[in-house]
Chains A and B, each alone.
Chain A
């Protein structure tokens, strides 16, 4: 059973560009979570999705950030008009249901020049 997949592993964008981060959950997992890790800090929750629904986006910045988890395909975290402060590692996790342990992907390291 393959683990949580994230791509790309590294992404470089210039200020003002868009960043798209992809996450494929483990097989059988319908719950996806996105976290952000700023340099030298712990992970911070951003958003929780189930198939086609955003359940909790309380940790998501109000502007420029959006997330989706379509019926088919991976979950996407989209950052529009990136700024230097968006440089961070973005982790996706998945679980089969709400009560189960969250398993993490390898993360996407976003660098904004």
Chain B
């Protein structure tokens, strides 16, 4: 079974600076998807970024980018120019690309990000 590990329970960053959130995963599959979701105090789950394992290029969405290291099974999220609105719980998630079992997201335990003004 696949597992996702977020080793940083909590991180802090100064407004306008850059922060990197870590995520590692364990799988024997070669084709899969990885995601970062953000959960602000409202508890809504918001998709931040998605990466397909077959793509070598790292995904980027405005101030958010990932460092996907397939061999190391690492998928870190970099937030540049941090803003107060980035403060939230961030979850890393894995999903198999297999037809069978490719429906469920497997989540890490989350990292709380605090942004200081």
- Interface residues in chain A, defined as those with a beta carbon under 8 Å from any beta carbon in chain B: 31, 33, 35, 41-45, 48, 55-56, 58-59, 89, 91, 93, 98-99, 101-104, 106-107, 109
Contact = CB atoms under 8 A, between A and B. Distances in A.
Interface string B77-101: 0000000000000010000010101
Contacts of B105: 33, 35, 43, 45, 93, 102
Contact of B45 (A41, A44, A55, A104): A104
Interface of B: 35, 37, 42-47, 50, 91, 97, 99, 101-110
Q: Is the interface of A mostly helix, strand, loop or mixed?
A: strand
11 contacts: A41-B110, A42-B110, A43-B45, A44-B107, A56-B101, A89-B43, A98-B103, A99-B97, A101-B35, A104-B47, A107-B44
A102 B44 CA distance: 13
B64 to A, nearest CB: 15
Given A33-B105, A104-B47, A107-B45, 16 more contacts: A33-B104, A35-B105, A41-B109, A42-B109, A43-B105, A45-B104, A45-B105, A48-B103, A48-B104, A56-B101, A56-B103, A56-B104, A93-B45, A98-B103, A104-B44, A104-B45
Closest 9 interchain pairs by CB?
A: A104-B45, A42-B107, A45-B104, A48-B103, A43-B107, A42-B109, A106-B44, A107-B43, A42-B110
Contacts, number: 54
B42 A106 contact: yes
Contacts of A99: 97, 102
B99 to A, nearest CB: 7
Contacts of B37: 104
A56 B103 CA distance: 8
Contacts of A104: 37, 44-47
A107 B109 CA distance: 18
Contacts of B45: 43, 91, 93, 104, 107
A93 B39 CA distance: 14
Nearest to A9: B43
B49 to A, nearest CB: 10
